[in-house]
Amino acid sequence: MNGDYAVEDFFKRDGGRYGRVNWPAVLCCLAGVAVQSPFMISGTGRTTYSGPIAKALGNTDLSFGAGLLVVSPLRSMLPGATT
């Protein structure tokens, strides 16, 4: 998929037409990590992390679904969302 990007704006100090940081997206990313952690199973062997809800569900990783159910509506409610 090709888009019409102003590549030179990526390197401007002020971010050009794109801005410096998409704060609503950063907030959603952090919220996603917080929401997914209890549902997550990560790693192998001795370094495995299993969230409390994942353990309670018999070591079932449901983090993707939990994150999707929370972050998608959150992003649509924050400023700058487009339909």
SS3 50: strand
The answer to whether residue 31 is domain-embedded is: yes
Say what the pLDDT of residue 3 is.
74
Model pLDDT for residues 52-81, shown as the tens digit of each residue: 999 999 989 999 999 999 999 998 888 876
Question: Taking residues 34-56, what's their average pLDDT?
Answer: 89
For the chain, the domain total comes to: 1
The b/e string for 30-51 (b: 16+ C-beta within 10 A; e otherwise) is eebeebbbbbbbeeeeeeeebb
Q: Are 17 and 6 in contact (CB under 8 A)?
A: yes
Task: Encode pLDDT of 4-32 as tens digits.
Answer: 888 888 888 887 888 788 888 899 999 99
Is 83 inside any structural domain?
no
Please report the pLDDT score of residue 7 as a whole number. Answer: 85
Report yes or no on 28 lying in a domain: yes
Assess whether pLDDT exceeds 70 at residue 2. Answer: no
Residue 68 maps to a domain: yes
Rounded to whole angstroms, the Cα distance separating 83 from 70 reads: 18
Whole domain around residue 58: which residue ranges?
Answer: 7-77
